[in-house]
Amino acid sequence: MNKRVKTNSIRIISGRWRGRRLPVLDHDGLRPTTDRVRETLFNWLMHDVPAARCLDLFAGSGVLGLECLSRSAKYVQFVESERRVADQLRQNLTKLDAADAATVSTGDALNFLRAPNHECFDLVFLDPPFQAHLLQPAIDLLNQPGWLSDGAMVYIEHHAHDDSIVIPENWVLHRSGKAGQSRYHLYRH
């Protein structure tokens, strides 16, 4: 029996691709950040995105990194563990004629952070699947030297009832909010 792959869509909310809808695979655990939360987040980041080097670590749909590219980020590194989801993200980058401004790595996000890094990022998005217990190890690895530029911004999204996250002392809370079952925070490194 041939299984059909269901697709949904995401919408870019601002920048050069404002209003553009892109297909996203319907995949277990894939939970694109809502338009409302993204609008709030990118209002907070308004002056930090242009020319930034960004890391969308648990990329999924890639909507956070795509929003950055739409708003003139210099480069986005996407990391996605599911091959089909990563392939869809590559196709969307090609549709937007943005493949030269981004790299999509297929693989484990924590292994990505364990590998040597050659460039620091100015803006990082950490929004792993809620039940995967990946957020704390990602925070700990990301806080190692070589990943974050001075003054880098780190966005974290997690389940509203998860109070176990330990934030490094050198990260300063900039803003936070709650929407539905999600809590989100923006830190400055």
Q: For 118-136, write each residue's pLDDT tens digit.
A: 789 999 999 998 777 899 9
Mean pLDDT of the chain, nearest integer: 91
Which 3-state string (H, E, C) describes 102-151?
Answer: EEEEECCHHHHHHCCCCCCEEEEEECCCHHHCCHHHHHHHHCCCCCEEEE
**pLDDT higher than 90, residue 28:** no
Average pLDDT of span 27-38: 72
53-56 vs 75-80, strand pairing mode: parallel
Residue, of 160 and 45, whose pLDDT is higher: 45
pLDDT at 5 over 70: no
- Looking at the predicted structure, is the pLDDT value of residue 6 above 60? no
pLDDT for 1: 43
Partners of 75 in beta bridges = 53
Closest CA to 90 of 105, 107, 69, 68: 105
Domain boundaries, the chain: 7-188
pLDDT above 70 (res 7): no
> What is the share, in percent, of the chain residues with pLDDT greater than 90?
74
Report the alpha-carbon distance of residue 85 to residue 90 in Å, rounded: 9
Q: Structurally, what CATH architecture does the domain formed by 7-188 represent?
A: 3-Layer(aba) Sandwich (3.40)
pTM higher than 0.85, yes or no? yes
Strands (E), the chain: 7-11, 21-25, 53-56, 75-80, 102-106, 121-126, 148-159, 172-179, 182-188
